[in-house]
C-alpha cells in the first residue's frame, strides 16, 4: 500500500535515523498567514537529512515522507520499526492563539504532559488521526481532544527514555547556540512516538502563530539554521553512541559540527534536572542518603525505571514497590529497588522484579559511586 518509504541508498550502513516531517497532504498542520506547517516541516526535514547524509557516511537516512502526502501517525512509527532504526526525529511547527508573541523552540519526549500547555501541543499534533480511516479502531478509542485519553501515557515506560532525553537536551543546546529562544525539553503524549522501538523525539521548530517566527521559518536561511542546529545535536549524540559501542564507526569522529553565525536574539538557559553530588543513591521522598554501603564493598541494586523529573514516593509508576531509591546521572533520575552485596541474590531478585518491570537490570555501587561489574 505504501510507497512512501524513502531511503538514502548506500550499502553497509550500520546506523539508521528516521526523519519524520510532520503532517502533509490533506493535513496542513498549523496554518500561518502565508505558509502551512507541513511545508516548513518537510523543508527542514530534507535539509537535515541532506546534512547527515553528506557528513556521516556510516548513517542511513530514512524519510517517512519526501513529498506533500498524508501518512498515518502509526505508519510513521511502523516505518521506523520496520527499518530497525536507531533514532527517530519528528519535525513539527508550533502554534498558539493568533497574534501571540510566543516564540522559541522546544523538544519533546514521550510521557505524561504535566502542564496544560504541553497537553495542548499534544492535542493539536494528535488531532491528525481524525483524518485517518477507522481511527477509533486503530487507536483503540483514543480521543485526541479529550484530556482523559492522555492518562494512558502516565503508565508508559519507554526503555529508551534516557537516550531520548539526552538527544532532546542536545537539540535544545544547539538551538541556544544558534541564538534561538529556548523553551526547554518537555514531555507529552504524542501518538507518533508511542510505538517507536528506539530513542525518539519530537521537535517544535518555532511558532507559526508569531508573524516574525513564521517569516523566519518560511525562509530558506531560517530553515537552514534550524536544520543545522538539529544536525549538530545529532552529530554529538552519534559520537556518544559510538563511544559507548566501544569503537569508531566510519567517519564518526570526523563528522564536523557546522558553525551557525550568531544573531542578536536573547536566549534562556536549558532547563534540566541538576546532577546530585557523584551518583549517591537516595530514598524516594527523603533528603538523606539511604545507602548502607560499607567502605570498599560493592553493593548491587536493580534499576527499574528512569524519569526526567523527580517522582513522589507514592507514584503509580512504582507499581506499589516500597523502599525505592534513586540517583541522578546526566540530569536523569534513575530509580532502583533492592540493595545486596551478593550478586547471585540480586540476580534472583531481578528475575522477580522483571515480572513488573520487564527492562529492569542490575547496577553496582562502591563507596557511593556507580561502578561497572
Residue 94 belongs to a domain: yes
Beta bridge partners of 110: 188
97 and 200 housed in the same domain: yes
Cell of 80: 521506523
Domain final residue, candidates 200, 224, 245: 245
pLDDT at position 284 is 59
pLDDT at position 236 is 94
**DSSP, residue by residue, 138-182:** HTTT--TT-GGGGGGGGS---TTHHHHHHHHHHHHHHHHHTTPPE
Structural domain total, the chain: 2
Per the structure, the complete domain to which residue 112 belongs is given by: 6-245
334 and 199 housed in the same domain: no
Rounded Cα–Cα distance for residues 13 and 26 (Å): 34
18 and 154 housed in the same domain: yes
pLDDT at position 27 is 97
Rounded Cα–Cα distance for residues 274 and 272 (Å): 6
Residue 42 belongs to a domain: yes
CATH of the domain at 342: 3.30.70.1070
174 and 126 housed in the same domain: yes
pLDDT at position 98 is 64
* E-strand stretches of 208-331: 282-283, 298-307, 325-329
- Taken in order 109, 111, 116, 119, is the CA torsion positive or negative? positive
Alpha helices, DSSP H, located in 178-280: 191-194, 211-218, 220-245
211 and 293 housed in the same domain: no
* E-strand stretches of the chain: 6-7, 15-21, 59-63, 87-94, 105-110, 182-188, 200-207, 282-283, 298-307, 325-329, 332-340, 361-366, 369-371
Rounded Cα–Cα distance for residues 293 and 270 (Å): 34
The model carries a pTM of 0.69
Cell of 325: 531509591
pLDDT at position 333 is 87
CATH of the domain at 74: 3.40.630.40
pLDDT at position 10 is 40
**Average pLDDT per consecutive 10 residues, the chain (373 residues; last block may be shorter):** 43 81 97 96 97 94 97 96 96 86 94 85 94 90 90 72 92 93 93 93 96 94 96 94 66 69 41 42 49 70 86 86 88 89 88 86 86 70
Residue 259 belongs to a domain: no
Cell of 134: 477507522
238 and 296 housed in the same domain: no
236 and 287 housed in the same domain: no
pLDDT at position 288 is 35
* E-strand stretches of 28-154: 59-63, 87-94, 105-110
74 and 209 housed in the same domain: yes
Beta bridge partners of 16: 60
Rounded Cα–Cα distance for residues 104 and 106 (Å): 7
183 and 316 housed in the same domain: no
Domain final residue, candidates 220, 245, 270: 245
Residue 273 belongs to a domain: no
How many distinct helices (H) and strands (E) make up the chain? 9, 13
Residue 195 near residue 144 (C-beta atoms within 8 A): no
What is the number of residues in the chain? 373
Residue 143 belongs to a domain: yes
Amino acid at each position: 500500500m505504501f510507497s512512501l518509504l524513502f531511503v538514502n541508498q548506500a550499502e553497509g550502513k550500520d546506523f539508521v535515523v528516521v526523519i519524520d516531517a510532520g503532517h502533509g497532504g490533506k493535513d496542513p498542520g498549523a496554518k500561518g498567514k502565508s505558509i502551512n506547517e507541513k511545508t516548513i516541516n518537510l523543508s527542514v526535514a530534507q535539509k537535515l537529512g541532506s546534512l547527515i547524509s553528506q557528513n556521516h557516511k556510516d548513517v542511513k537516512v530514512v524519510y517517512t515522507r519526501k513529498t506533500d502526502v498524508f501518512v498515518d501517525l502509526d505508519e510513521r512509527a511502523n516505518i521506523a520499526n520496520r527499518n530497525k532504526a536507531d533514532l527517530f526525529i519528528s519535525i513539527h511547527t508550533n502554534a498558539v492563539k493568533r497574534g501571540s508573541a510566543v516564540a522559541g523552540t522546544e523538544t519533546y519526549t514521550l510521557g505524561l504532559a504535566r502542564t496544560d500547555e504541553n497537553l495542548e501541543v499534544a492535542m493539536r499534533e494528535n488531532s491528525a488521526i481524525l483524518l485517518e480511516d477507522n481511527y477509533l479502531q486503530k487507536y483503540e478509542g483514543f480521543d485526541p481532544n479529550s484530556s482523559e485519553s492522555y492518562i494512558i501515557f502516565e503508565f508508559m515506560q519507554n526503555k529508551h527514555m534516557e537516550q531520548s532525553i539526552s538527544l532532546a537536551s542536545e537539540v535544545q543546546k544547539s538551538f541556544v547556540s544558534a541564538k534561538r529562544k529556548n523553551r526547554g525539553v518537555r514531555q507529552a503524549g504524542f501518538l507518533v512516538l508511542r510505538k517507536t522501538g528506539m530513542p525518539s523525539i519530537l521537535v517544535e521548530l518555532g511558532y507559526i502563530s508569531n508573524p516574525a517566527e513564521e517569516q523566519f521559518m518560511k525562509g530558506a536561511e531560517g530553515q537552514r539554521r534550524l536544520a543545522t542546529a538539529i544536525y549538530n545535536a545529532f552529530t554529538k549524540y552519534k559520537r556518544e553512541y559510538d563511544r559507548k559501542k566501544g569503537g569508531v564507526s566510519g567517519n564518526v569522529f570526523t563528522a564536523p559540527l557546522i558553525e551557525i553565525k550568531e544573531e542578536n536574539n536573547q536566549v534562556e538557559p536549558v532547563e534540566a534536572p541538576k546532577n546530585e553530588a557523584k551518583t549517591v543513591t537516595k530514598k524516594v521522598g527523603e533528603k538523606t542518603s539511604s545507602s548502607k554501603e560499607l567502605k570498599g564493598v560493592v553493593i548491587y541494586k536493580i534499576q527499574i525505571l528512569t524519569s526526567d523529573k523527580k517522582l513522589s514516593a507514592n507514584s503509580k509508576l512504582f507499581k506499589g514497590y516500597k523502599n525505592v531509591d534513586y540517583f541522578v546521572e546526566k540530569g536523569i533520575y534513575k530509580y532502583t529497588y533492592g540493595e545486596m552485596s551478593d550478586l547471585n541474590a540480586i540476580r534472583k531478585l531481578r528475575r522477580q522484579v522483571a515480572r513488573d518491570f520487564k527492562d529492569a537490570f542490575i547496577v553496582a555501587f562502591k563507596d557511593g559511586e556507580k561502578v561497572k561489574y
